[in-house]
Amino acid sequence: MTSKTVAELLKSDFKSQDIDIKGWVRTFRANRFIALNDGSSLQNIQCVVDFENTDEKTLKRITTGAAVHIKGQLIESQGKGQSVEIKVDNIVILGDSDPETFPIQPKKHSFEFLRENAHLRTRTNTFSAVMRLRSTLSFAIHKYFNDNGFYYMHTPIITGSDAEGAGEMFRVSALDPKNPPLTEDGKVDYKEDFFGKETNLTVSGQLEAEAYAMSLGKVYTFGPTFRAENSNTSRHLAEFWMIEPEVAFMDLAGNMDLAEDFLKSVLKYVLEHNREDLEFLEQRLLDEDKTKPQAERSAMTLIDKLKFVIDNNFKRVSYTEAIDILKDSKPNKKKQFKYIIEEWGADLQSEHERFLVEKHFKCPVILFDYPANIKAFYMRLNEDGKTVRAMDILFPGIGEMVGGSQREERLEVLKEKMKALDIDEEELWWYLELRKYGTAVHSGFGLGFERLVMFATGMGNIRDVIPFPRTPQNADF
């Protein structure tokens, strides 16, 4: 007797073997055919019950959602639609599922409804495919870095600094909110708090990763990141996972090469390892497209889109060139953009980024050399004195996928920038010391993992590619 998964059985060519399998009933048809799924594959395995020799009570308990234990034989399928099936000798109901109340019925459910049932939504094909792909992608990321000589480092989740300087942080405190200790001038006294200072959940592991790059050479982080920005969009989460490589002696051009090679490589990995799930998600998109007007349908299928990204060079464009393109663009001239681009220095909104990748270049774009005053303090100032060695990678349908830069390695220049932005030198004393002792050119970037999963799965809402999304007004489950 062998205990195997559905995936293994469907691949198995050893017929007539005794098998032992556990899973959940997707459907039970004609008092005879169970479609059984155990999460190992998109496919169900058909289990044929000999209803004449199975007691009535047990048959009644074979319902959608029930957990069952089946013993039987793997045989060549008698019917169409599958090559093997299980002839059931014995079935035990491990956990009943009341068909009257089980939320996941064998029919189409809206993604909104499934979000409210996030604990059960991976019982559907779409969500199990998405989450298997998410798992593979995450493995591919670790594999890529491991194959390329990077060390995986764990950066702190609780920190005293605001790496991005945007002030969008969740406070971490053990003080009694009803009765906090106060300073003489009536403010909350964080010296009395657990860490003896104000702390928050990290918005990025970059600053700490820089410290490790300046000794271990090539490092990366892959961890949870928190942003208290009140952006209720289909591309923002309050808790998301970020991948941040950081490399010593690498300049901005090297950073772009690394990011492009990395993205292509991990997408290639899922194409090679999750074909079945991708084909299912591709079909889902094609079906969804049929309900849309022609103009809104996608020009490429999901798999072709992934291949296109893998096979073509990303377009590298300076911020200055991008502004010229945008200023000259139809939606700018016709005032169709919400934010009209008037002059150099304007921050790019997602409508502009999407115009550049989806309408103008029609491929992933790396924008670089942004104005210093719209980017974070740690970016390397260019010789022109007004732009920094920043890069953002923009993807069709997603917008900003990656944000990175070459870091300011010159102590005096960094100090000046911090002063101008009112960033406390004492708070970041250790970060400044990295510029004092053996400083060198170094660069890195941050990739929003869920945005990559969105791209790879074709899912349109970031809430549908993370198991239990955290967004403004929502931290259920």
Give the integer Cα–Cα distance in Å for 180 and 193: 9
* Residue 444 site contact among ligand 4AD, Mg ion, none (CB < 5 to 8 Å, cut-off depends on kind): ligand 4AD
Give residue for tokens 């304007």. Answer: 346
Of the candidates 209, 225, 178, 172, the one whose C-alpha atom is nearest the C-alpha of residue 466 is 225
Residues 401-420 that bind Mg ion (CB under 5 A): 403
Give residue for tokens 């010296």. Answer: 191
* Residue 236 site contact among Mg ion, ligand 4AD, none (CB < 5 to 8 Å, cut-off depends on kind): ligand 4AD
CB nearer ligand 4AD, residue 65 or residue 364: 364
Give the integer Cα–Cα distance in Å for 120 and 71: 26
* Residue 220 site contact among ligand 4AD, Mg ion, none (CB < 5 to 8 Å, cut-off depends on kind): none
Should residue 72 be labelled a site residue for Mg ion when binding is judged by CB under 5 A? no
CB nearer ligand 4AD, residue 168 or residue 279: 168
SS3 104: coil
Percent of the chain that is helix, strand, coil (3-state, to 5): 35, 25, 40
* Residue 237 site contact among Mg ion, ligand 4AD, none (CB < 5 to 8 Å, cut-off depends on kind): ligand 4AD
CB nearer ligand 4AD, residue 70 or residue 376: 376
Q: Is the dihedral of CA 198, 201, 204, 210 positive or negative?
A: positive
227, 167 Cβ separation under 8 angstroms: no
Q: How many CB atoms lie within 10 A of CB 39?
A: 15
- The CB-of-439 to ligand 4AD minimum distance in angstroms stands at 18
Give the integer Cα–Cα distance in Å for 72 and 88: 4
- State the binding string over 384-403 for Mg ion (x if CB under 5 A, else -): -------------------x
Choosing from 162, 244, 353, 464, the residue that interacts with ligand 4AD (CB under 6 A) is 244
CB nearer Mg ion, residue 219 or residue 391: 391
- The CB-of-213 to ligand 4AD minimum distance in angstroms stands at 10
CB nearer Mg ion, residue 85 or residue 162: 162
- The CB-of-246 to ligand 4AD minimum distance in angstroms stands at 7
Should residue 236 be labelled a site residue for ligand 4AD when binding is judged by CB under 6 A? yes
Should residue 206 be labelled a site residue for ligand 4AD when binding is judged by CB under 6 A? yes
The per-residue DSSP string of 173-236 comes to --S-TTS--B-TTSSB-GGGSTTSS-EEE-S-SHHHHHHHHHHHSEEEEEEEEE------STT-
Instruction: Determine the residue type at 269.
Output: Y
DSSP 382: P
Residues 119-158 that bind ligand 4AD (CB under 6 A): none
Go through the chain and tell me how many residues it has. Answer: 477
Of the candidates 316, 312, 324, the one whose C-alpha atom is nearest the C-alpha of residue 352 is 324
Choosing from 132, 264, 380, 451, the residue that interacts with ligand 4AD (CB under 6 A) is 451
Residue count, binding to ligand 4AD (CB under 6 A): 23
User: Which listed range, 12-20, 90-98, 229-237, 278-286, lies at the site for ligand 4AD (CB under 6 A)?
Assistant: 229-237
* Residue 240 site contact among Mg ion, ligand 4AD, none (CB < 5 to 8 Å, cut-off depends on kind): ligand 4AD
| List of residues 6+ apart from 370 with CB closer than 8 A | 319, 387, 388, 390, 392
Should residue 227 be labelled a site residue for ligand 4AD when binding is judged by CB under 6 A? yes
Choosing from 162, 353, 358, 450, the residue that interacts with ligand 4AD (CB under 6 A) is 450
* Residue 244 site contact among ligand 4AD, Mg ion, none (CB < 5 to 8 Å, cut-off depends on kind): ligand 4AD
Using CA atoms, how far residue 396 sits from 12, 276, 337, 350, 453, in Å, is: 40, 23, 18, 11, 13
Residues 389-448 that bind ligand 4AD (CB under 6 A): 400-405, 444-446, 448
The torsion defined by the Cα of 418, 422, 426 and 431, in degrees rounded to 10, comes to: -30
CB nearer ligand 4AD, residue 72 or residue 448: 448
Should residue 469 be labelled a site residue for ligand 4AD when binding is judged by CB under 6 A? no
At 372, list the tokens. Answer: 């210093």
* Residue 402 site contact among ligand 4AD, Mg ion, none (CB < 5 to 8 Å, cut-off depends on kind): ligand 4AD
Give the integer Cα–Cα distance in Å for 406 and 257: 13
- The CB-of-85 to Mg ion minimum distance in angstroms stands at 51
Choosing from 36, 45, 104, 163, the residue that interacts with ligand 4AD (CB under 6 A) is 163
Of the candidates 152, 126, 127, the one whose C-alpha atom is nearest the C-alpha of residue 138 is 152
* Residue 445 site contact among Mg ion, ligand 4AD, none (CB < 5 to 8 Å, cut-off depends on kind): ligand 4AD
Give the integer Cα–Cα distance in Å for 164 and 141: 24
Give the integer Cα–Cα distance in Å for 375 and 158: 24
Choosing from 88, 242, 306, 372, the residue that interacts with ligand 4AD (CB under 6 A) is 242
Give the integer Cα–Cα distance in Å for 395 and 354: 8
Q: Give the interface with Mg ion as residue ranges (CB under 5 A).
A: 403
Q: Give the interface with ligand 4AD as residue ranges (CB under 6 A).
A: 163-164, 204, 206, 227, 229, 236-237, 240, 242, 244, 400-405, 444-446, 448, 450-451
